[in-house]
Amino acid sequence: MKNEKFGDALDHIDYSFIEEYVEEKERLQKENRRKRLLKTAAPLAATFIVFFTVLGIVLGGNTVPLPSAPGDDFTGSMSYENIYVFEYGGKRYCAAFMNLSFNFGDKYLGDELGEIEATDNKGNTSSHKIFSSSLDTVDKEVFIEINGNYYPAYKSNKK
């Protein structure tokens, strides 16, 4: 009976509290979805960057301009359209311009470092902005802007 009394009273809770509850619930759900997404995406992005770092180090050791893109023996949904090689701060970097359906780098951009001339694997030169990385997981790497998208560039082991 005590419960029923409380139940009856709760039926008449002020409507504004329900509006506030519904609004807060939506906010919390959105926030939790975002957290879950970040939890999934962060390791994926880190794996992705590590993979291309290793690939960049390997490819960066080749002569410039680089040989044709290694898309032939690459399986999966990505393919290289170009490899860009440039120098910054006395170091040589290599960036793979990938045919991806999403803009990979813009979330991880740090400060704009300047503009550089890069040579692609066909010998063409063009100017591009470069940025530092805001990711803690990647040390001393930079991002290069190519056609409005941002790609990680990796230090070449060739001096």
CB of 95 to another protein, least distance (A): 36
CB of 37 to another protein, least distance (A): 15
Q: CA angle 138-142-146, nearest 5°?
A: 130
Asked if 2 interacts with another protein (CB under 8 A), we say: yes
Residue with smaller CB distance to another protein, 28 or 54? 28
Nearest CA-CA partner of 82 in 151, 157, 156: 151
Asked if 47 interacts with another protein (CB under 8 A), we say: no
Three-state secondary structure of the chain: CHHHHHHHHHCCCCHHHHHHHHHHHHHHHHHHHHHHHHHHHHHHHHHHHHHHHHHHHHHHCCCCCCCCCHHHHCCCCCCEEEEEEEEECCEEEEEEEECCCCCCCHHHEEEEEEEEEEEECCCCEEEEEEEEECCCCCCCCEEEEECCEEEEEEECCCC
Interface positions, 11-40, toward another protein (CB under 8 A): 11-15, 17-26, 28-29, 32, 35
Among 10, 101, 102, 148, binds another protein (CB under 8 A): 10
CB of 26 to another protein, least distance (A): 8
How many residues touch another protein under the rule CB under 8 A: the total is 29
Asked if 5 interacts with another protein (CB under 8 A), we say: yes
CB of 108 to another protein, least distance (A): 25
Instruction: Give the span between the Cα atoms of 80 and 68, in whole angstroms.
Output: 9
Residue with smaller CB distance to another protein, 25 or 91? 25
Residue with smaller CB distance to another protein, 9 or 44? 9
The footprint of another protein (CB under 8 A) covers 1-15, 17-26, 28-29, 32, 35
